[in-house]
Structure 1
């Protein structure tokens, strides 16, 4: 009998037919459901898998691969490869957690259930949403086609599929216009779009084509960086290297057949069309589809509404958020996740025991602003753009040590400590070596 109650006769007997969806769908139950297997999801799954009985934690994540995304800037600059940023998802998830390899389709916060795209239902007692952001290429007409065309000159370091194309474009450049963009949406690592400008500048100087090249950085922001201390240092960098900066200027269309890009000034609403030989596009970003339609779990833009200090949902106390998908007004970086993970751990444990968590997230974020193949400005800051530095020196100065921290130390900490829920930022180091720092 199939889903409509019909029995199909076959030679020699009868066979019952069932709908595929009914056969594949399943019901799951857990103490804690973590949606997302990125940096925040892995860290939280690791923490609670150590505290709760086996299979009490379910991780909902469709991807087979896990990427250390901050490395993609260096991939675009030819320092390393995409393969170096990738590991199997199974290798970074805790063995004591149950991994469901599906994507979320919808959340019912009243019934405490999540439905997957495959039709499974997961019932939870507590929920952590850690799904990050996705690239929204369709917001810029022509961008998808230009990225797919190997000869378009258009690339982005914000995807494992295209960041090696960035290096290909930079390494083959022999002069002309190089344009770099920043969209008017929240993005992962807001400093990355200008890091690739500085690496391109350094490489063009290395191969002797910088004097034949015009570099233009178009940003949606009214300043080059949101923290004044580091913005002042970066303004010296762009001035010394003769990089054109257009503020409040956003990419609206790419015309790959003409090799030109259309921009709009957000203040004057005037259009600007620029020809390019190579173009690095930072794509608009948004939360995944299921959050775009998640009702009162999210705000009007699809970001999970949490208290910016406790990271607990503002309406549903058994839900917490971590990372890029929340509406907290901090820079969306892996460094922020490291600090947030300790806050979520302590506060959620308090919630589980019927209490009120007292840990507070202070907005900590960090951005190693690579300025060449040997130098980097190490920006660290809190809510309200207040600098909060770890090292007993002026981190707004370009330094070799900061570059190697970005290149070697931070990937080591990420794979070996953050994903295992054992790294909560550099505060313990700061208290030891810089007890009187800001």
Structure 2
């Protein structure tokens, strides 16, 4: 998610909540969120709910559908249908946001793996698939390696969008948006913040950083310096079977940051965590009402704007 205070050029349609109308030209907005993913929508919802300085929020997202990515692990496990991860973008767009519908110019797991006889092969990059013969070729440090398969589940390499890679806000080495890992503010452009997959923070990218982004953005808009610190907290709910899930939570440096260990062992597969991922996260995250380790309780930061 990119948020900045600038003019927005738009080439197709613009809509307020549940409304669309064709428009061209340039329009000013206090805050622009680029990308209607979980991080972007969650941040937009929090900003609008606070009002005042952050009452004018535009979300740039060309797609008419939102795909809730965290649900895909349940789809892969046969627990949910793929279509259940799709919602109309209008249904999840925060109320009062302006929707610009155009494109922008641990040990526990290791134990389960061994128990189930799952082989791990790191530093293998898929370069070729022979479908008729069911053979996949991987590039390794030692050269190409062929592997036979019954079912091939391919996950493409991650990378930033081309429009980010070719812009001044990108890290020239990685292509991701260059931000201070503590404040999530761009290192060169103070009115730009990044959250989620587009940022170059050294951790697993999730929407959990939204409260920090929202607080620091509002301070910058008020002429103050960011003072909230993001500790790198990320929540990775790992589905290990039907009704089984390990809730992995950690900070920068892979330091554990478990929020539910006071009543359940987070190093083991747990049914309540499975329901948390299946039912709670989808309904609380996008509206900006899930606050990581604080669950539904909004964190407080010093000297808010």
Q: Same fold (TM over 0.5)?
A: yes
What's the offset of the Cα at 1:246? Answer: 1.8
- Report what 1:249 is aligned to: 124
1:97-133 CA distances to partner (integer Å, 9 max, x unpaired)? 211110011xxxxxxxxxxxxxxxxxxxxxxxxxxxx
Q: Deviations over 1:276-328 (max 9, x none)?
A: 22111111121112102113443322100000010000000011111110000
Following the alignment from structure 1 to structure 2, what is the Cα–Cα distance between the partners of residues 28 and 252? 44
Contact kept in structure 1, 2:46 and 2:211, CA below 8 Å: no
The aligned counterpart of 1:192 is none
Q: Is the 8 A contact 1:62 1:102 kept in 2?
A: yes
Q: Name 2:42's counterpart in structure 1.
A: 43
Summarize the Cα distance change of 1:43–1:103 in structure 2 as closer, same or farther, 3 Å threshold.
same
Kindly state the Cα deviation for residue 24 of structure 1 after the two structures are TM-superposed: 6.8
- Between the aligned partners of 2:275 and 2:126, the Cα distance in structure 1 is 33
How far apart are the structure 1 equivalents of 2:201 and 2:287?
Answer: 24
Aligned pairs (5 A) from 1:337-352: 337-338=207-208, 340-352=209-221
Q: Offset of 1:271 from its aligned partner?
A: 1.8
Cα 1:394/1:315, change in 2 over 3 Å: same
Q: Is structure 2 residue 101 aligned with structure 1 residue 67?
A: no
Deviation at 1:66, TM superposition (A): 0.9
Deviations 1:232-271 (A, max 9, x none): 22221121112222222222221223321111223xx322
Q: Displacement, 1:429? A: 7.5
Aligned equivalent of 1:238, options 113, 116, 120: 113
* Cα deviation 1:346-375 (Å, max 9, x = unaligned): 111111111111100000011122212132
Sort the Cα spacing of 1:238 and 1:281 in 2 relative to 1 into closer, same or farther, 3 A.
same
1:356 equivalent to 2:221? Answer: no
Change (3 A) 1:97 1:317: same
For the pair 1:264 / 2:144, whether they are aligned, the reply is no
The question of 1:300 aligning with 2:167 is answered no
Residue 365 and residue 24 in structure 1: after superposition, are their counterparts in 2 closer, same or farther (change >3 A)?
Answer: closer
> Contact conserved, 1:55 with 1:98, CA < 8 A, in 2?
no
- Separation in structure 1 between the aligned mates of residue 157 and residue 296 of structure 2, nearest angstrom: 36
Alignment of 1:209-248 (within 5 A): 230=106, 232-248=107-123
Q: Deviations over 1:206-232 (max 9, x none)?
A: xxxxxxxxxxxxxxxxxxxxxxxx2x2
> What's the TM-score, normalizing by structure 2?
0.83
Structure 1: distance between partners of 2:198 and 2:169: 15
Could you tell me which residue of structure 1 aligns to residue 269 of structure 2?
A: 398
TM-score by length of 1: 0.59
CA distance in 2, matches of 1:410, 1:421: 10
Q: CA RMSD in A?
A: 2.3
TM-aligned CA distance change 1:97 to 1:400, over 3 Å: closer
Show structure 1 runs of 4+ deviating over 6 A: none
1:27-73 per-position Cα deviation (integer Å, ceiling 9, x unaligned): 11111111111112212222333414898322111010112111111
Shift of 1:399: 2.1
Which residue of structure 2 lines up, in the alignment, with residue 99 of structure 1? 99
Question: Counterpart in 2 of 1:323?
Answer: 196
Q: Which residue of structure 1 aligns with residue 87 of structure 2?
A: 87
Partner Cα separation in structure 1 for residue 254 and residue 243 of structure 2? 26
1:372 is aligned to 2:241:
yes
Which residue of the partner structure matches residue 311 of structure 1?
Answer: 184
Does residue 289 of structure 2 align to residue 422 of structure 1? yes
Taking structure 1 as reference, are residues 41 and 428 closer, same or farther at Cα in structure 2, changes over 3 Å only? closer
3-state SS of 1:274 partner: strand
Distance 1:315 1:387, change over 3 A: same
Following the alignment from structure 2 to structure 1, what is the Cα–Cα distance between the partners of residues 55 and 271?
Answer: 45
Q: Name which one, 1 or 2, has greater alpha-carbon Rg.
A: 1
More helix by share: 1
**Total equivalences in the alignment:** 275
**CA distance change for structure 1 residues 42 and 429 in 2, over 3 Å: closer, same or farther?**
closer
| 1:390/1:429 contact within 8 Å kept | no
Secondary structure at 1:100 match in 2: strand
